[in-house]
Amino acid sequence: MRVLVVEDARPLAEVVAEGLRDQGMAVDVTHDGLDAAAKLDVNAYDVVVLDRDLPGIHGDTLCQMITERDGRAMVLMLTAAGAPGDRVSGLTLGADDYLAKPFHFPELVLRIRALARRRPAARPRTLRVAGIELDPMRRTAGRDGRPLELSVKEFALLEALLNASPGFLSTEDLLEQVWDEHADPFTNTVTVTISRLRRKLGDPPVIATTPGVGYRITARPD
């Protein structure tokens, strides 16, 4: 899952971003509306965590711009304006959810995951392919009834592959979906994480590799 945090209070933005990364999300951060609009033109996000009072482009305007896009991201307004009238106006602008500051971080995580599931192209809550079961909300994964103990990045990578199955994801796709915009495109981190994940999934192997194309989950390896 890829999330864009748009928050002009830099300490809060960094705390939110690091917390979401610890939950296995790929997170980009920006502190003004103009930069956020530029990132939205370049990257595909599942959820945008959006402050309302932003420099450059106001959060309300940015929210309307997002809702007019095809295949748009879901918008969670995260703002100090928490009166009922503020919530109504935010939702009227097209926001999909509204959370007032101060907030309880586990609630923010649950709301983001719930929004990602509500996207038109979102997959069912529990992903099941080739004997693998993964529940993004409960953060559980298993194969053929055997629980899998996965790191944060291993879990996120497996989730991305299951969501794409039976299609392929290239190294660049995985860097974009599982890491973030600061990931080094020349790093071998994807290869290393795939290798660790394969060992934990065990036999028979289910992650197929096609040189020049990418990786995919398959019931029988190619």
- pLDDT tens track for 25-52: 999 999 999 999 999 998 889 999 999 8
Backbone angles phi, psi at 25, to 5 degrees: -90, 150
Among left, alpha and beta (phi > 0; psi -120 to 50; other), residue 192 is alpha
Of 44, 27, 10, nearest to 108 by C-alpha is 27
Is the pTM above the cut of 0.75? no
User: Do 2-118 and 127-217 show the same overall fold?
Assistant: no
pLDDT for 112 equals 95
The pLDDT mean for the chain works out to 87
The answer on pLDDT for 91 being more than 50 is yes
Fold topology of 127-217: Arc Repressor Mutant, subunit A (1.10.10)
- pLDDT tens track for 184-195: 766 788 999 999
The answer on pLDDT for 15 being more than 60 is yes
Determine how many CB atoms are found less than 10 A away from the CB of residue 146.
Answer: 11
Q: Could you check whether the bond before residue 106 is cis, i.e. omega within 30 degrees of 0?
A: no
Q: Where does the pLDDT of residue 88 fall: very low under 50, low under 70, confident under 90, or very high at 90 and above?
A: low
Q: Where does the pLDDT of residue 221 fall: very low under 50, low under 70, confident under 90, or very high at 90 and above?
A: very low
What class, spelled out in words, does domain 2-118 have in CATH? alpha beta
Q: Where are the domains of the chain?
A: 2-118, 127-217
As a whole number, mean pLDDT of residues 123-145 equals 85
More confidently predicted of 126 and 162: 162
